Amino acid sequence: MLRVAVVGSGPSGCYTAQTLVQRDPAVHVDVLDRLPCPYGLVRYGVAPDHEKIKSLQGSLRTVLEHERVRFLGGVRVGGSGGLPVERLRELYHAVVYCVGAATDRRLGVPGEDLPGSWSATEFVSWYSAHPDAADAGFLRGVRSAVVVGVGNVAVDVTRMLVRGAAELRPTDIPQAALDVLAASGLTDVHMVGRRGPAQARFTTKELRELGGLPGTEVVVDKEELALDPADPGTLPAGPRRNVEVLRGWATQPSAAAVRRIRLRFFLRPVELLEGAGRVSAVRFERTVPDGRGGVTGTGRYEDIPAQLVLRSVGYRGVPLEGLPFDPASGTVPHLEGRVLRDGTPSPGEYVAGWIKRGPTGVIGTNRPCAKETVISLLADAPALGHTDVPADPVAALRAAGTEPVPWNGWLAIERAEAELGARLGRSVVKLSDWDALLGAARVP
Ligand SMILES: Cc1cc2nc3c(=O)[nH]c(=O)nc-3n(C[C@H](O)[C@H](O)[C@H](O)COP(=O)(O)OP(=O)(O)OC[C@H]3O[C@@H](n4cnc5c(N)ncnc54)[C@H](O)[C@@H]3O)c2cc1C
């Protein structure tokens, strides 16, 4: 009987476990996560107001409740205080790393570390109740915000910044974040792309949603759209629809609104400016198309006032101590999911998801990615299955100083979140700190 550890309970970890038990009638899978809660970015990334996508947790749940799958939360692999990769490898016939891409890319411009300048990751983690996130006073004294980037995460944070209490209350957003967002004095969010609308990475569905937010007007500059030489008729369907939506907004009459989302293009950030000890504006250089799909600077500058700057220019994997890592791509080198050590497949070590292919694609993209890895693993299984491994690795985890949070512990957290919601007159409300989560998980 093959025993496999999957590290990470996000979509790629769950799809890996699911494919394993579907394809091998005898395999047993432990899904380990450093958090006491499962589902990775579906719980801690997907925006709270996107309830339909959040409901995917229901199908991931059925995987973790499978009779040959076991969730072990609160188990960190690698890093300080974590279970070493080498030790984990001794406990299972095979280990699949599905640890995601935990950090964000930087802008690399002066002023990036000023108070008031954050990564979208930090802001998302805060409103998603990630236990590592802190209330950094994101919205204190903020009237104008700049979001750098034009992908779906940039759209998410822009939308969350202008959402009002009535729209957020029915979601599972933690109460403290709800209170801060509801009381914010923010009036303007500038979402800014360095290239043109035809190159923006957001999807049309997400973009359109910005046009339907109560009390909020979307403002697009006709002249900026005209800078793009791309003939919409020749564009692929997605970018063409985006340009159509933006053109519609550019020609609509101004409406009476409490808040404005300004979509800006052909501006690249060159510096974050300081005023009164914090960020006060972002200096952008106007760019123009270079004829090869990129842009070039013009030497003309524009300052956009902002007391909050969120950069959303992509995610990056972080190295896991003991595993090889390619710093250029931010991924673990692999061949069809087999981890490569010095260019050679390492027996019993695999990767899937964002740490394997980089931070691209939607949740569903992780399913074929996991399948490829599982096919490799099961092809190797006859050679792997001969190794002696402990009948139950949990005793070894305990001996290594880790007390895993079992599935029942997670169910207890779910109950505590439902009870908190009921006390606040809301539905489920997420617990947002380690003590509260672990306290709830240990309730018998
Ligand atoms: C802000 C944001 C919003 C998104 N919204 C959408 C959306 O609306 N729709 C959509 O289709 N896609 C969305 N995506 C993309 C989607 O979330 C990803 O495709 C998907 O989560 C990647 O899955 P993964 O399993 O590789 O990584 P993750 O979901 O990040 O899961 C990784 C897991 O590994 C665990 N882990 C990490 N390190 C360790 C360790 N050392 N030891 C133990 N456990 C560890 C983490 O705790 C986590 O649970 C969004 C992404 C982001 C960043």
Q: Is the pLDDT of residue 27 over 70?
A: yes
Diameter of the chain measured on Cα atoms = 72
Q: Which atom of ligand 1 is nearest to the CA of 37?
A: 49
What is the arithmetic mean of pLDDT over 103-107?
92
Q: Is the pLDDT of residue 389 over 90?
A: yes
Nearest CA to ligand 1 atom 21: 41
Nearest CA to ligand 1 atom 41: 77
Average per-residue pLDDT in the chain? 95
Q: Residue 401: its pLDDT value, please?
A: 86
Q: Residue 442: its pLDDT value, please?
A: 87
d(CA 117, CA 307): 8
CB 57 within 8 A of CB 10: no
Q: Which of 15-19, 39-43, 226-230, 349-353 is predicted with the least confidence, judged by mean pLDDT?
A: 226-230
* Phi, psi dihedral angles at 72 (to 5 degrees): -125, 95
d(CA 334, CA 323): 11
* DSSP string covering 298-345: EEEEEEEE-SEEEE-S-EE----TTS--BTTTTB--EETTEEEETTEE
Pocket of ligand 1 from Cβ distances under 6 Å: 7-13, 32-35, 40-41, 45-46, 50, 53, 76-78, 82, 98-100, 124, 153, 156, 315, 320, 353-354, 361-363, 366
Nearest CA to ligand 1 atom 4: 46
Q: Residue 444: its pLDDT value, please?
A: 66
Q: Which of 57-71, 237-251, 388-402 is predicted with the least confidence, judged by mean pLDDT?
A: 388-402
- Burial environment of residue 62 by CB neighbours within 10 A (0 to 12, 13 to 18, 19 or more): exposed
d(CA 165, CA 426): 12
Positive/negative CA dihedral, 333, 335, 338, 343: negative
| 119 CA → ligand 1 middle, Å | 16
pLDDT band at 381 (very low <50, low <70, confident <90, very high): very high
Q: Which of 12, 59, 95, 99 to mutate to test the pocket of ligand 1 (most atoms within 8 A of CB)?
A: 99
How big, in percent rounded to 5, are the helix, strand and coil portions of the chain?
A: 35, 25, 40
Q: How many CB atoms lie within 10 A of CB 88?
A: 24
Pick from 144, 142, 149: which is nearest to 120 by CA?
149
Q: Which of 7, 207, 363, 437 to mutate to test the pocket of ligand 1 (most atoms within 8 A of CB)?
A: 363
What is the arithmetic mean of pLDDT over 392-415?
94
More confident: 401 or 333: 333
Q: Residue 301: its pLDDT value, please?
A: 98
| 15 CA → ligand 1 middle, Å | 12
What is the arithmetic mean of pLDDT over 94-98?
98
C-alpha dist (Å) from residue 187 to 7, 114, 136, 165, 259? 42, 22, 20, 15, 4
- Note the pLDDT tens digit of each residue in 165-183: 999 999 999 999 999 999 9
CB 369 within 8 A of CB 12: yes
Q: Which of 20-24, 37-41, 227-231, 372-376 is predicted with the least confidence, judged by mean pLDDT?
A: 227-231
Q: Which of 46, 126, 160 to mutate to test the pocket of ligand 1 (most atoms within 8 A of CB)?
A: 46
Query: 254: which DSSP letter?
Result: P
Q: Is the pLDDT of residue 323 over 70?
A: yes
Q: Residue 231: its pLDDT value, please?
A: 78
Nearest CA to ligand 1 atom 33: 8
